[in-house]
Amino acid sequence: MKTTFSFQLALAFLPSVIAHPTTENVIHSGGQRYACKCYPGDSCWPTPQKWKALNVTVGGTLKEVIPNWAVCYNTFEGKPTYNAAACAAATANFTLEQWTTEQDILNLWIFWSNNTCLPTTNPDSSCTLGYYPEYVIRAKAKEHIKAGIDFARENNVRLVIRNTGHDFMGRSTGYGSLAINTHDFKSVEFTKSYSGPGGYSGGAVTVGAGIQGRELLRLGYQQSPKVAVVTGECPTVGLAGGYIQGGGHGPLASIYGLAADQALSFDVITSDGVYRTANARENPDLFWALKGGGPSTFATIVSLTVKTFPETKTAGAVFRINSTHTNDTEVFWKGFRAFHNLSNRWVENGIFSYYQLLPNSVNAQPMVAPNKTAAELKQILKPLADQLSSQNIPHSLTYHEYSTFFDLYLDLFTDESSGNNMLVGGRLFTKTDIRNNGDGIVDAMRQSIKAGGYGLIGHIVGPGTGAPVVDNAVHPRWRDGASFSISVLLQPTNATWEQKQAAKTYLTDQVDGPLRAASPNGAAYVNEGNLEEPNWQQAFWGSNYPRLFSLKKKWDPNGVFYARTTPGTEDWEIIDYGTRLCKKV
């Protein structure tokens, strides 16, 4: 822990601030009057004595943020930082997801950090803080979380909650902010018979905010009898964070429903610094909102209780078409159309599939069929095999069988990489739209990929099969969902501000536009979507939005928590080239 604190205004890489704020931090920009959060250099920014007092309150867990790759540069904020060995180690870990999630403030995808301190072989170049927080509390106890929330509220400092940084949309970072890192909350307690409110009496597990998917599944596998939990496809996703607060799809979602559908109780700290339990009996409106109402919106999660399910035999399949099979573009798209047009059949049989769709390649690894044998899965996939055969479309389709879902998870899912510089968007396709316009959706996906130049990250997932009726904040159209795609637009790390804004518009209009047009009954997903999504309130939450807006006003009337395009943020903007968080007044 550093004992000295630097308050140098890290704006050298940005144009000048438009106006000097008053002690109330009211500024004018572009003809609009704003009340802004306090930032370094403002008269309302907390004094060094206040930061030191906070550090005492949180038991020395407050850190001044220094980017991980500052050790690759001669100086950071005027202080010598170069360390060849440390630079080599940090650079080697740059693409490793698990390492990235264990750091204090890093995001897995780097676009929203502003790319101002990346690995380099030129130590004379410049490293700045970019859009990362000024300070971070590496919380070890719930009292540390409370102290951070209280400090941010009382000093009008932007607050960021981060548990893994598994975030495509920049919501776990923020310029000039105080971050609370909950990654070290790793408690796990299983029970065979839940006795809390809500009428459920089956197996359950209570987890700390920092627990990640693969480590929880591994612990469930070690129980007697073995149990499984609805987690994300990616092993590093934190269960009790933005994942479940946004809904949470994953490999078991087509048979049991979304992660939010499994929530039984939350222990949280609300914006007033009060510890609260939210479940079917205590604070039921907050309980409803936390189940899919948006990340970093209503409270900070300390722990969470969700349902568990008995481990079961699981079959898997791997479906591929690529250049080893054909270089004929039209043949390829006929093959993918056959696969995707059967999405309704897949989810109605409880199947989940994760696939990568590139211009002339689809890799569906795996297709997951819980409680099925390989023979049963082969019968379910027979219509696909028959179509491919009848149309002479070369492909590979292999089957696998496991005694448990966890065995399949370890064998067929592969780790992803961090450090990608991308903008993302996407679309949830419903069974209704696939039934009515399956070919049109595939044509739109083809057009989207051509515009984006990379590909789509696809998920065949239908939570309405396992949980057709659920009372929570998740967009109701997820109950008719069958396929969800993440669109990707690669970005250069040296893009100018103007180029970044143009890229956002291009993503919205040219990459995501065809997907929206082809799916009038579809939706967007708050955790993996486009921050420029038109009419985002309806796209992310549909008919649930008015209630969520009202609950935001009740539980966080002053905007202590903030994540862009979440309930109640209509009057908030990040101005001055992606820096100051301000509210229109």
The verdict on 390 and 354 lying in the same domain is yes
Residue 79 sits in the same domain as residue 199: no
**Beta partners for residue 275, in sequence order:** 269
Per-residue pLDDT band for 438 (boundaries 50, 70, 90) equals: very high
Amino acid of residue 205: V
Q: Which residues contact 49 (CB under 8 A, 6 or more apart)?
A: none
Same domain (yes/no): 370, 463: yes
pLDDT given at position 84: 98
Residues 205, 239 share a domain: yes
Query: Residue 201 maps to which CATH number?
Result: 3.30.465.10
Pair 322, 193 in one domain:
no
d(CA 107, CA 531) in angstroms, rounded, equals 16
Domain boundary among 279, 310, 341: 310
Within a domain: 8: no
Question: Is residue 281 within 8 Å of 240, Cβ to Cβ?
Answer: no
Q: Are 491 and 503 in contact (CB under 8 A)?
A: yes
Which CATH number covers residue 484? Answer: 3.40.462.20
DSSP for 231-291, please give it. --SSTT-BIIIIIHHH----TTHHHH--GGGGEEEEEEE-TTS-EEEEESSSSHHHHHHHT
Q: β-pairing, 79-80 with 75-76? A: antiparallel
Residues 457 and 368 reside in one and the same domain: yes
Boundaries of domain holding 112: 26-183+573-584
Q: Is residue 11 part of a domain?
A: no
In this prediction, residue 415 has a pLDDT band, given cuts at 50, 70 and 90, of confident
Average pLDDT of 169-174?
A: 95
Q: Is the confidence at residue 22, as pLDDT, over 50? A: no
For residue 235, with 0-12 CB atoms within 10 Å meaning exposed, 13-18 middle and 19 or more buried, which class applies?
buried
What are the pLDDT digits (tens) for 81-121?
999 999 999 999 999 999 999 999 999 999 999 999 999 99
The confidence score (pLDDT) of residue 29 equals 85
555 within a domain of the structure (yes/no): no
Judge whether 168 and 242 are in contact, CB under 8 Å: no
Q: What mean pLDDT comes out for the span 437-442?
A: 98
Q: Read off the pTM.
A: 0.94
pLDDT-based confidence at residue 24 (cuts at 50, 70, 90): low
Give mean pLDDT, residues 478-501: 97
pLDDT band at 6 (very low <50, low <70, confident <90, very high): very low
- For residues 523 and 419, state if they share a domain: yes
* Angle, alpha carbons 282-286-290 (nearest 5°): 120
Q: Is the pLDDT of residue 297 over 70?
A: yes
Task: Answer yes or no: is pLDDT of 5 > 80.
Answer: no
Q: For residue 552, which phi and psi values (nearest 5 degrees)?
A: -60, -45
Q: Is residue 470 in some structural domain?
A: yes
Nearest CA-CA partner of 307 in 474, 214, 191: 191
| pLDDT score, position 480 | 98
Digit-coded pLDDT (tens) for 534-557? 999 999 999 999 999 999 999 999
Helix (H) or strand (E) run with residue 368 in it: strand 361-370
Q: Tokens 């719930």 appear where?
A: 142
Q: Read off the CATH number of the domain in which 108 is found.
A: 3.30.43.10
Q: How confident is the model at residue 7 (pLDDT cuts 50, 70, 90)?
A: very low
Does the residue 384 lie in any domain?
yes
Q: Which of 260, 290, 310 is the last residue of a domain?
A: 310
HSE, side-chain direction, 13 A CA sphere, residue 32: 15
Nearest Cα residue to 273 out of 340, 364, 189, 180: 180
Round to whole Å and give the CA distance between 277 and 545: 23
pLDDT at residue 16 is higher than 50? no
Query: What are the residues whose beta carbons fall under 8 Å from the beta carbon of 322, sequence distance 6 or more?
Result: 360, 361, 362, 363
Residue 10 has pLDDT above 60, yes or no: no
- The reply to whether 489 falls in a domain is yes
Closest among 181, 266, 207 to 555, alpha carbons compared: 266
Query: What does the pLDDT look like over 344-391, one tens digit per residue?
Result: 999 999 999 999 999 999 999 999 999 999 999 999 999 999 999 999
Share of the chain above pLDDT 70, in %: 96
Question: CA 431: distance to chain centroid?
Answer: 24
- Looking at the DSSP assignment, which residues form a beta bridge with residue 306? 205, 263
The three-state secondary structure class of 379 is helix
- Structural domains in the chain (count): 3
The total number of residues shown for the chain amounts to: 585
Give yes or no for a contact between 236 and 97, defined as CB atoms under 8 angstroms apart.
Answer: yes
Is the residue at 561 inside a domain? no
528 shares a domain with 407: yes
Domain boundary among 289, 310, 331: 310
Cβ-based burial of 469 (10 A; exposed 0-12, middle 13-18, buried ≥19): exposed
Residues 88 and 213 placed together within one structural domain of the fold: no
Tens digits of residue pLDDT in 275-285? 999 999 999 99
Mean of all residue pLDDT scores within the chain: 95
SS3 for 307? Answer: strand
Q: Domain for residue 7, yes or no?
A: no
Maximum separation of any 2 CA atoms in the chain, in Å: 75
Question: Are 283 and 418 part of one and the same domain?
Answer: no
Does residue 427 sit in the same domain as residue 510? yes
| Span 39-90, pLDDT tens digits | 999 999 999 999 999 999 999 999 999 999 999 999 999 999 999 999 999 9
Do 116 and 262 belong to one domain? no
The sign of the dihedral angle between the CA atoms of 499, 500, 505, 511 is positive
